[in-house]
């Protein structure tokens, strides 16, 4: 029985070696010209320069980018910033401060509107 197992193993080994020697498609290609090389560039350690600084009176709580504007949540307000001029061009109306707490927690753009979550006041939707 052991002789049969050794014989079968030797036969398989001979067939594998013979197949590799006679078959060109089992060998790796001679050149890799057909495959594009994957080049990974290291992350630059040079900091990117600041191109604009827009100041708000309250801390910024959220930023959302739409197709034609950047919406900034700060304090009790949401401002629309023109990305070409880096200036505040509008503020969302109808947001009155409450005496206990007032804060816009976050802002998102989607489904044709600007959405904001307000502390203690729910959700605000403004059409763009």
Q: State the Cα–Cα distance between residues 22 and 114, nearest whole angstrom.
A: 67
| pTM of the complete model | 0.57
The residue ranges of every structural domain in the chain are: 60-127
Q: State the Cα–Cα distance between residues 6 and 12, nearest whole angstrom.
A: 10
Residue 25, CA atoms < 13 Å, CB-side half-sphere: 0
Q: State the Cα–Cα distance between residues 125 and 78, nearest whole angstrom.
A: 11
Per-residue pLDDT of the chain (128 residues; tens, 9 = 90+): 665 556 556 655 555 555 655 555 555 555 555 555 556 666 667 777 888 889 888 888 889 998 889 999 888 888 999 999 999 999 886 666 656 566 788 888 988 888 888 776 677 777 76
């Amino acid at each position: 029985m052991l002789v049969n197992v050794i014989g079968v193993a030797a036969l398989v080994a001979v067939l594998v070696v013979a197949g590799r020697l006679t078959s060109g498609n089992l060998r790796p290609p001679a050149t890799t010209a057909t495959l594009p090389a994957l080049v990974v560039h290291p992350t630059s350690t040079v900091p990117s320069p600041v191109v604009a600084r827009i100041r708000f009176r309250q801390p910024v709580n959220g930023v959302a980018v739409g197709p034609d504007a950047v919406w900034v949540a700060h304090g009790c307000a949401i401002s629309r910033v023109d990305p070409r001029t880096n200036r505040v061009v509008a503020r969302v109306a109808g947001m009155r401060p409450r005496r206990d707490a007032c804060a816009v927690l976050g802002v998102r753009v989607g489904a044709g509107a600007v959405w904001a979550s307000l502390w203690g006041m729910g959700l605000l939707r403004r059409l763009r």
